[in-house]
């Protein structure tokens, strides 16, 4: 697959899954705009890509601020003249804890980025694609948490259920205009965010045993899926959530065991931090 002449926009593009996707789509020839809050990391990645002869642009923006979201989408389209592919990846995990102990502050912070930020971004992206008149492909970051319960992560889980709902509705509304909208729903992926939640690499290594393929995912695994969803090879695929979890949720009798194991590792992580 090659993407010369096409333009991709990735939010949350300075680390983890977002960074992996930025590097992958850029290596395949797309002119690539990516958004993040960390200007140092963003400029470093931008510089590396430009040095390799790749057309890339870092855009600093906070996805919890609607005006900055809209400006970021407009800037990406302005810099490269069009917008063909989008990966709305930016998100946060928030604070863990049972529902009765959750705070409105945590709820508002998680939803401001995971749901409202994505919603505002999609509005601007779809409007740009409609003006262009030739369609496009939008991929939203969901999670297996958007399909199954995860005790202790109620706010995050609710936000990802909302992402899948927005994805399906947008796909139905804009399919007639040639705009495909899908989600990726990763399980355990070895990222800094997951390390912070569970307490480091050792805890993540323990999680491999509960996955049928005996490993957890990498950012590159998700990036590959996003690239496929961008491509014409997935032209009949829309309104779906592509699950990437190493077979974890296929084991329905052991989902409770997996959740219990995750909670145990989370507690171990907190003990190590203390």
Contact 25, 56 (CB under 8 A): no
Choose the most confident range, by mean pLDDT, from 6-10, 190-194, 257-261.
6-10
Tokens linked to 127: 């409007």
pLDDT above 90 as % of the chain: 75
pLDDT for position 188: 80
The 10 Å Cβ neighbour count of residue 61 is 23
pLDDT for position 257: 52
Return the minimum-mean-pLDDT range out of 164-168, 246-250, 255-259.
Answer: 255-259
Q: Indicate the pLDDT class of residue 41, thresholds 50, 70 and 90.
A: very high
pLDDT for position 209: 80
157-165 long-range contacts (CB < 8 A, ≥24 apart) are: 158/111, 159/91, 159/94, 159/110, 159/111, 159/114, 159/115, 160/114, 160/185, 162/111, 162/114, 162/115, 163/114, 163/115, 163/118, 164/241
pLDDT above 70 as % of the chain: 87
Tell me: pLDDT of 104 over 90: yes
Structural domain boundaries in the chain: 7-190+219-248
Examine the residue annotation and report whether 156 is marked as an active-site residue of this protein: yes
Tell me: pLDDT of 153 over 80: yes
Catalytic one among 156, 174, 236, 237? 156
pLDDT for position 198: 61
pLDDT for position 44: 97
Digit-coded pLDDT (tens) for 186-225: 988 866 766 666 666 676 677 778 888 888 889 999 999 9
Contact 126, 174 (CB under 8 A): yes
Tell me: pLDDT of 258 over 80: no
The residue that leads in pLDDT, 171 or 248, is 171
Say which CATH topology domain 7-190+219-248 has: Rossmann fold (3.40.50)
The 10 Å Cβ neighbour count of residue 245 is 23
Average pLDDT, the chain: 90
pLDDT for position 266: 57
pLDDT for position 3: 97
pTM of the model: 0.90
pLDDT for position 149: 86
């Amino acid at each position: 697959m090659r993407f010369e002449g096409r333009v991709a926009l990735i939010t949350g593009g300075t680390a983890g899954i977002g960074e992996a996707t930025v590097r992958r789509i850029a290596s395949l020839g797309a002119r690539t705009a990516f958004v993040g809050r960390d200007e140092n990391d963003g400029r470093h990645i931008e510089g590396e890509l430009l040095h390799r002869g790749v057309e890339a642009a870092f855009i600093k923006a906070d996805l919890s601020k609607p005006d900055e979201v809209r400006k970021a989408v407009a800037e990406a389209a302005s810099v490269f003249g069009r917008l063909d592919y989008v990966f709305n990846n930016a998100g946060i995990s928030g604070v863990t804890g049972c529902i009765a102990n959750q705070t409105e502050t945590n709820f508002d912070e998680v939803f401001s980025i995971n749901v409202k930020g994505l919603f505002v971004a999609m509005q601007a992206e779809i409007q740009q694609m409609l003006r262009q008149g030739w369609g496009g492909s939008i991929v939203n970051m969901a999670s297996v948490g958007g399909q199954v319960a995860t005790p202790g992560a109620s706010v995050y889980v609710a936000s990802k259920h909302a992402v899948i709902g927005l994805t399906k509705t947008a796909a139905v509304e804009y399919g007639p205009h040639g705009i495909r909208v899908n989600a990726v729903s990763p399980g355990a992926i070895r990222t800094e965010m997951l390390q912070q939640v569970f307490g480091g690499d050792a805890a993540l290594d323990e999680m491999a045993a509960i996955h049928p393929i005996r490993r957890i995912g990498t950012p590159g695994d998700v990036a590959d899926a996003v690239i496929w969803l961008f491509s014409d090879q997935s032209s009949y695929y829309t309104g779906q959530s592509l699950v990437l979890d190493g077979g974890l949720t296929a084991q329905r009798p052991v989902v409770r065991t997996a959740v219990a194991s995750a909670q145990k590792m989370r507690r171990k992580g907190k003990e190590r931090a203390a």
